[in-house]
Amino acid sequence: MKKKKSDFRPNSLWTLPSAGLLLFLTVIPLIMLLVFSFMNRNLFAGQPWPGWTLKNITRMFHSAPYWKLMAKSLGIASIVTLICIAAAYPASWAIAKIVKPKNRSMFMMIVILPFFTSQLLLIYSMMNLIKTGGVLLTAMDAIGIHGMTTWLYTNKATVLILVYEYLPYMILCLYSSLEGIGDNIIQASLILGASKTKTFTNIVFPMSLPGLLSGILLVFVPVAGSFMEPGLVGGAGGSMVGSMIDTQYSTSLNMGYGAALSCALLIILSVIMALVRYFAARAERAIGGEPS
């Protein structure tokens, strides 16, 4: 594959269409997002170019609601990620290690099947399940648990729906890591006298770190940036930082301010993700596990 020494090979030109798309639809828009954070007016076709301003940035730093929602979104994203890990770890372990090998892929197909339906329809079905007079509350009433009120239109509902949406990703990531751990390694560790806890902390956990890490990235980032879920099920006090950014575009039409807010979100998320990776790499080295 990489036999020739020359740096350029004509076949690499086949990447040009994709490279062009990435340049024009990802890199340039991101630069525009940054540039627009310093614009004082909205931009529409045919209108003169807006002027420069620092107003959006100062407004953002002085906006108490923005930072409050930012903290709340990061908090919700952490909670959702932790719940997903707590639920997905044992479940993935069961599928990867306990279920009969010939049934494993079937179970994984069952796990990802909801992904093949529509995300919005999943949200809708969960909303219908938990709403007042819905199946869940009616069933609870029937078995004698009375006086339950619905979670719908509270922050709890937002967390529930987000867990529901992103749990399959976490299971998938953890499963692919856990499946790669040989049973013989675990057996060896136990036979050589390591306790179950020690086998977990020294063998299983380090070896599952790559999957755990991609799971965290796949869940935390989109959850922190979500705006549709809180808008649908979060009720009046359910806004997240994404909702505030959305307002700048769909209601109050304040593109520059919205751009500044999204830039800040993007920067904060990148920093968090870099930290997660850094600590995961350090933990891996400290425990002495090898990346699978």
Partner 1 sequence: MTSKGFRRAMLACMWIVLAFMYIPIIAIIFMSFNKTQYGGFPYVFTTKWYTTLFTTSNLLPAAMFSLRFAFLVTIVAVVVGTLCAYGMQYYTPKFAKRFNTILQLPIIIPWMVTAISLLLLFSFIGVGRSYVSMFLGNLIVVLPYVVLLVNGRFVDMDRTPESAAALLGASPGRVFMDVTLPAIAPGMLAGGIMALIMCFNNFVIQYYLIPVGENTLPTLVFTRIRSEYQADLNALSAIIVLIAVVVVILLSKLGFSAGSLMGMGGGNKKEGN
**Interaction residues for partner 1, span 81-110 (CB under 8 A):** 87-88, 90-91, 93-95, 97-99, 105-110
Find the binding residues for partner 1 in span 130-159 (CB under 8 A).
133-136, 138
Residue 80 interacting with partner 1 (CB under 8 A): no
- Least Å distance, CB 55 to partner 1, is 18
Give min distance, CB of 36 to partner 1, in A: 6
Q: Provide the minimum distance between the beta carbon of 44 and partner 1 in the complex, in angstroms, as a whole number.
A: 6
DSSP 37: T
- 33 contacts partner 1 (rule: CB under 8 A): yes
24 φ, ψ (degrees, to nearest 5): -80, -25
Confirm or reject binding of residue 277 to partner 1 (CB under 8 A): yes
Closest separation in Å from C-beta 239 to partner 1: 14
Using CA of residue 219, residue 222, residue 224, residue 228, what is the dihedral sign? negative
C-alpha closest to that of 243 among 260, 224, 256: 224
Within 185-204, which residues bind partner 1 (CB under 8 A)?
186, 190, 196, 199-200, 204
Least CB distance from residue 57 to partner 1, whole Å?
A: 17
Residue 152 neighbours by CB under 8 Å, 6+ apart: 127, 130, 131, 132, 233, 235
Of 62, 64, 116, 251, which lies in the binding site for partner 1, with binding defined by CB under 8 A?
116
227 touches partner 1 by CB under 8 A: yes
> Under 8 Å CB-to-CB from 236, ≥6 apart: which residues?
153
Select the span of 51-59, 62-70, 144-152, 251-259 touching partner 1 (CB under 8 A). Answer: 251-259
The stretch among 8-16, 52-60, 150-158, 282-290 that binds partner 1 (CB under 8 A) is 8-16
Q: What is the dihedral of CA 185, 191, 193, 196, to 10 degrees?
A: 60
Which one, 70 or 172, has the nearer CB to partner 1? 172
Tell me which residue of 235, 240, 239, 233 sits closest to 130, measured CA to CA.
Answer: 233
CB of 154 closer than 8 Å to CB of 238: yes
Tokens at 5, concatenated: 């020494």
Q: Residue 252, interface with partner 1 (CB under 8 A)?
A: no
